[in-house]
Amino acid sequence: MSEQLALFDKVRAEPEGLRYAADFVSPAIERELIQCIRTVPLQPFQFGQFEGKRRVASFGFRYDYNQRQLKRAEPTPAWLAEVVASVETFVGHGTRIQQVLCTEYDVGVGIGWHRDKAHFDRIFGLSLGAACELRFRRPTGQSWERFTLDAEPRSLYMMSGPSREIWEHSISAVEAPRYSITFRTMIDEPDLGAPF
């Protein structure tokens, strides 16, 4: 009985709108994606005047922290087309990925607490290489309610609804090199002029 209660508590604590799929891609596709990310001209993550330790490349749109607005970025490369289509199928009819972010994490690198910008709607993360702890928190009175998702290699997670809008998330420092591909839908596509 106590094991059943412990399981119930874990399920109840999971943020609403969080969805997880293990083994979303095969080991062969994972290797191909990592090789492709390594060919991309990744740059240190810029947060205003600060430079993060992870390296990134944005496609479709990128967020400019100095100007606090979305900017158009290079189109999503062809090598991502199949996995983008798989993510869109995972959610169902009407899903359209409009922004992709490739990220490289070296040993000891993570991400602090944050919520993705309000321009974006649903957030999908494909974990490649090392596993990571995707942590969630939300305020409850003078404390925090917390939940940790162990994101295994080749898994996909989705944040929508409260898990996206109310809960903050972070990634603990990784113990081995990790790559991720983040896919985002948009609330409304901004009018930024003609695409590339």
CA–CA distance, 10 with 95 (Å, rounded to integer): 29
Q: Are 186 and 99 in contact (CB under 8 A)?
A: yes
CA–CA distance, 38 with 21 (Å, rounded to integer): 25
pLDDT for the residue 191: 52
Percent of the chain having pLDDT more than 90? 67
Query: Considering only 90-104, 133-147, 179-193, which range has the smallest mean pLDDT?
Result: 179-193
**Residue 9 domain-assigned?**
no
**Residue 11 domain-assigned?**
no
pLDDT for the residue 92: 82
**Residue 6 domain-assigned?**
no
Identify the helix (H) or strand (E) that includes residue 101.
strand 99-105
If pLDDT is split at 50, 70 and 90, which confidence band does 93 have? confident
Kindly state the greatest CA–CA separation across the chain: 61
Residue 17 has pLDDT above 50, yes or no: yes
**What's the Cα-to-Cα distance from 126 to each of 138, 144, 145, 154, 190, rounded to whole Å?**
23, 27, 25, 7, 25
**Residue 81 domain-assigned?**
yes
**Residue 146 domain-assigned?**
yes
Q: Which CATH number belongs to the domain containing residue 22 in this structure?
A: 2.60.120.590
**What residues make up the domain containing 71?**
16-186
Identify the helix (H) or strand (E) that includes residue 154.
none
If pLDDT is split at 50, 70 and 90, which confidence band does 1 have? very low
**Residue 8 domain-assigned?**
no
Residue 10 has pLDDT above 60, yes or no: no
CA–CA distance, 125 with 159 (Å, rounded to integer): 9
* Averaged pLDDT for residues 33-45: 94
**Residue 7 domain-assigned?**
no
Task: Classify residue 14 by burial, with Cβ atoms within 10 Å: 0-12, 13-18, 19+.
Answer: middle
**Residue 10 domain-assigned?**
no
Nearest residue to 150 via CA among 166, 134, 168, 130? 134
Q: How many domains does the chain have?
A: 1
CA–CA distance, 177 with 130 (Å, rounded to integer): 6
Q: Are strands 178-186 and 99-105 parallel, antiparallel or unpaired?
A: antiparallel
Kindly report, residue by residue over 46-87, the tens digit of the pLDDT: 765 677 789 999 999 887 766 677 789 999 999 999 999 999
